[in-house]
Amino acid sequence: MQSSRIEVLSELEKKVLWLASWTIHNANHLRENVDGLKVGGHQASSASLATIMTALYFDILRPQDRVAVKPHASPIFHAIQYLLGKQTREKLENFRGYKGAQSYPSRTKDIDDVDFSTGSVGLGVAQTLFSSIVQDYVHAHGLAKDKPEGRMIALVGDAELDEGNIFEALLEGWKQSLRNCWWIVDYNRQSLDAVVREGLWERYEQLFTNFGWEVVIVKYGSLQEAAFREPGGDKLRAWIDACPNPLYSALVFQGGAAWRKRLLDEIGDQGPVTALIEKRSDEELARLMNNLGGHDLPALIKAFQSIKHDRPVCFICYTVKGFGLPMAGHKDNHAGLMTPAQMETFRTQNHVRPGHEWDKFEGLTLPQETLQGFLDKVPFAQRKPAAKAPRIDIPATLSVPAQAVTSTQTGFGALMNEIAKSKEAYASRIVTTSPDVTVSTNLGAWVNRRGLFARSASLDTFRNERIPSTFAWEFSPGGQHIELGIAEMNLFILLSALGLSHAIEGERLLPIGTLYDPFIARGLDALNYACYQDARFIVVATPSGITLAPEGGAHQSIAQPLIGMAQDGLASFEPAFVDELAVILRFALDYIQKDGDATPSERNWLRDETGGSIYLRLSTRPVEQPQRAMSDELQQGIIDGAYWLRKPGPNAQVVVAYTGAIAPEAIEAVGLMGEDRRDVGLLAVTSADRLNAGWTAAQRAREHGLVHARSHIERLLDDVPAHCGLVTVLDGHPATLSWLGGVHGHRTRGLGVEHFGQTGSLPDLYRHYGIDANAIIAAAQGLTAGRPIRYLRALP
């Protein structure tokens, strides 16, 4: 290592810390002026990573590498990008402000080339692991041939390692022969509330080693290493090693005099170490004791450069939270901010003149040309924006053999089987994944044809031994299904990684993940995370609801339809029939590829051109399938979210609106009411989510003066007379559909499931929860005047 390179890097490190601290100070200052509020700027948490990120971004990273930055190091990341010319002063001045640089790095909201969004701790870390697997998948399929393999790197807070999803990912990574993944732990031994427990590094070391990772511990800086070589140095080293975390932090906070007193008290009588301590001034002593490996550029660069293989590596880098700032080491420093007076002192230390705070080289000693010349050549900054991955054509229709009676889940399996037979390009871009429910979500036929993915091939032993089995589980680099262990967090983070392949690998994949509907809740934050960073995928959740009758309560999902409605970036559908599903799946494969204009369509007021991910809620309940031609109008209704299965007449007294597997009950109820109520209508709702989104958007458009804006649901309900009652029903929370009454003010009774499920037969449960035909009729009678409905039986 040339010393001049280190000199440049340490100047940049200083500048990065200054800029990040100033960004936070400046932003908080603004906030205080406006509304007296203080917002946590994470000065200490950022400072902890200043050296590591300087070493990485300005020296170690190559253009093909990708990084998930610890959320609270966002100011350091933005400062680095500012120096590299990829972030603007305007955005930094507006840090944490409206449209300013983001508090936590965001792929979609920041302008400075964020690789992975972070914020919810633990998720970005696991994302790097799954992104490595996706990189292997893409290359194994002969895609992105010219793109060199990159390292997927996570900058991890030590307390972040408490998040269980990291360990679920670690286990899966081992199973999938993970490569090219580095996790760099910012081992400052502090979390948000406190100082972390002693000796965690030893647990981590064993754990990571067990999973096949190399572990590199970067504990001492080069000043410390030099001091250890002095007479008495071994005593100093032993003292450091034995020092409890809270004490070390407290001494860092107190500074040189406190270090001297403590060291002399504890080891001052042990021979030459006294001289080692005494010959240093307070300031030199503090610098020595603060010189942990994670704040020492030569130590870090040596550690990173020592890795010559592609196995996963965990670096445990000792750091001080708040390094270089007055709050360094204080246990309460997580959201701490420097006071204006402290900032002034920091300004003086950095030789920054008032009015020159944003000047890139202000206060540095090396000539500007040297620094700018260095920045111009930083390897990581040479990367070009990824070329847009082209759209993959999806056929106009997806066909599936007709069945008189079947379920949407079986239909899904049949559709995937047909796609598996196809020679068209889109079929080879589909990649499926499931957390140990591949067979029970009906992906078996697809997997039989397309195989499982692994970097090296292995045959199905049962098949080799000629033992009959319905499933051939052969692994090969060309396989198109990634089988996961039972961890829904992993499912969603893998979908997040697969769903960003077009942006990260420059190759578009069409990811489809399956799981049981109730277990969406297990991976919900990861699903939210995937949507937040605009990953594109289809999630097929089946089976769902109390329709899963004999399985028992906790397997029966209730809230999921509302999750589907409320989750941004995710359009949800719940078809009742397989012909609807075929239309929706085709739409979905196209929709996940869109990234166009955000202006809503004047037809349904949805922003379909922007695209997003898709959630399909399916069922195992076999129901009689309609025998009908799929007209363009019907197709459009299915996609827009609803269509009339039976159009209400001009004097309609009742409309039943249903979603999903409960269709036979709705159809039956409408039939039974016909003699006693006029012109009963039956509305098939395939997507409460899209209906609701279109309705909200059309209302907003009208408020903005577009007086003719009309959403799909408004048009559908236009001709329903005002006195007509509306009964809504689904196997899920009733709020999913009961808002329909608000569209034109029809009196509405929402039926659905509000309480945990239980075991029983389907009729038992539908009766118990009040979503069977009789309950629909009772609701209709309650809403409408007229003679008693003759088929209504007393409710249980």
Ligand X SMILES: Cc1ncc(C[n+]2csc(CCOP(=O)(O)OP(=O)(O)O)c2C)c(N)n1
**Contact window for Mg ion (CB under 5 A) among 187-195, 446-454, 559-567, 703-711:** 187-195
- Taking each helix axis from N to C end, the angle separating 222-229 and 297-305, rounded to the nearest 10 degrees, works out to 100
CB of 144 to ligand X, least distance (A): 32
**Contact window for Mg ion (CB under 5 A) among 93-101, 182-190, 355-363, 734-742:** 182-190
CB atoms within 10 A of CB 275: 12
**CA pair distance 626, 684, nearest whole angstrom:** 12
Residue numbers 282-341 binding Mg ion by CB under 5 A: none
CB of 580 to Mg ion, least distance (A): 50
H/E segment holding residue 67? strand 66-68
Please give the full DSSP string across 2-19, using - where no structure is assigned.
Answer: -HHHHHHHHHHHHHHHHH
Between 159 and 652, CB nearer to ligand X: 159
Closest CA to 289 of 244, 237, 242: 237
112 interacts with, out of ligand X, Mg ion, none, CB within 5 to 8 A per kind: none
CB of 319 to Mg ion, least distance (A): 8
Between 112 and 158, CB nearer to ligand X: 158
CB of 252 to Mg ion, least distance (A): 14
192 interacts with, out of ligand X, Mg ion, none, CB within 5 to 8 A per kind: ligand X
CB of 651 to ligand X, least distance (A): 55
Q: Select from 43, 46, 190, 417 the one that contacts Mg ion (CB under 5 A).
A: 190
Three-class SS state of 752: coil
CB of 166 to ligand X, least distance (A): 11
**CA pair distance 673, 470, nearest whole angstrom:** 46
Residue numbers 152-171 binding Mg ion by CB under 5 A: 157-159
Residue 507 β-bridge partners = none
Between 188 and 428, CB nearer to Mg ion: 188
Continuous H helices in 268-306 = 273-278, 282-290, 297-305
Between 323 and 695, CB nearer to ligand X: 323
CB of 16 to ligand X, least distance (A): 16
Say if CB 311 and CB 35 are below 8 A apart.
no
**CA pair distance 168, 102, nearest whole angstrom:** 29
CB of 196 to ligand X, least distance (A): 7
Query: 472 Cβ partners below 8 Å, 6+ apart?
Result: 447, 448, 460, 463
417 interacts with, out of ligand X, Mg ion, none, CB within 5 to 8 A per kind: none
781 interacts with, out of Mg ion, ligand X, none, CB within 5 to 8 A per kind: none
Q: Which pairs with CB-CB distance under 8 Å and at least 24 residues apart come from 262-270? A: 263/236, 263/239, 266/239, 267/235, 267/236, 267/239, 270/232, 270/235
Which stretches of the chain bind ligand X, using CB under 6 A? 45, 48, 71-72, 120-121, 157-160, 186, 188, 190-192, 321, 334
Query: 204 Cβ partners below 8 Å, 6+ apart?
Result: 161, 185, 215, 314, 316
Cα-flanking dihedrals φ and ψ of residue 606, to 5°? Answer: -100, 150
Place of tokens 């397997």: 555
Between 120 and 610, CB nearer to ligand X: 120
Place of tokens 């002969």: 142
CB of 153 to ligand X, least distance (A): 16
Between 323 and 475, CB nearer to Mg ion: 323
**Contact window for Mg ion (CB under 5 A) among 190-198, 352-360, 591-599, 742-750:** 190-198
Between 300 and 680, CB nearer to ligand X: 300
555 interacts with, out of ligand X, Mg ion, none, CB within 5 to 8 A per kind: none
Between 524 and 706, CB nearer to ligand X: 524
Between 190 and 692, CB nearer to Mg ion: 190
CB of 156 to Mg ion, least distance (A): 9
Query: 66 Cβ partners below 8 Å, 6+ apart?
Result: 115, 116, 128, 131, 150, 151, 152, 153, 504
Between 270 and 528, CB nearer to ligand X: 528
CB of 122 to ligand X, least distance (A): 6
499 interacts with, out of ligand X, Mg ion, none, CB within 5 to 8 A per kind: none
Closest CA to 187 of 213, 158, 166: 158
**CA pair distance 518, 437, nearest whole angstrom:** 13
Three-class SS state of 217: strand
Between 480 and 567, CB nearer to ligand X: 567
121 interacts with, out of Mg ion, ligand X, none, CB within 5 to 8 A per kind: ligand X
Please give the full DSSP string across 559-614, using - where no structure is assigned.
Answer: SHHHHHHH-TTEEEE--SSHHHHHHHHHHHHHHTT-----SPPTTT---GGG--EE
CB of 190 to Mg ion, least distance (A): 5
Between 158 and 665, CB nearer to ligand X: 158
Continuous H helices in 328-476 = 340-350, 368-376, 408-421, 425-429, 444-450, 461-464
Continuous H helices in 351-407 = 368-376
Question: Is residue 245 a contact point for Mg ion (CB under 5 A)?
Answer: no
160 interacts with, out of ligand X, Mg ion, none, CB within 5 to 8 A per kind: ligand X
CB of 196 to Mg ion, least distance (A): 7
CB atoms within 10 A of CB 749: 19
327 interacts with, out of Mg ion, ligand X, none, CB within 5 to 8 A per kind: none
Q: Select from 188, 249, 490, 560 the one that contacts Mg ion (CB under 5 A).
A: 188
CB of 262 to ligand X, least distance (A): 23
Q: Which pairs with CB-CB distance under 8 Å and at least 24 residues apart come from 259-263? A: 259/285, 259/286, 259/289, 260/285, 263/236, 263/239
Closest CA to 333 of 121, 191, 160: 191
Number of residues interacting with Mg ion: please give it, by CB under 5 A: 5
Between 95 and 446, CB nearer to ligand X: 95
**CA pair distance 99, 95, nearest whole angstrom:** 8
**Contact window for Mg ion (CB under 5 A) among 186-194, 302-310, 595-603, 662-670:** 186-194
324 interacts with, out of Mg ion, ligand X, none, CB within 5 to 8 A per kind: none
* 627 CA to centre of own chain: 41
Residue nearest to ligand X (CB): 157
Please say whether the dihedral angle defined by the alpha carbons of residues 522, 523, 527 and 532, taken in this order, is positive or negative.
positive
**Contact window for Mg ion (CB under 5 A) among 149-157, 204-212, 401-409, 452-460:** 149-157
Between 321 and 555, CB nearer to ligand X: 321
Residues that bind Mg ion (CB under 5 A): 157-159, 188, 190
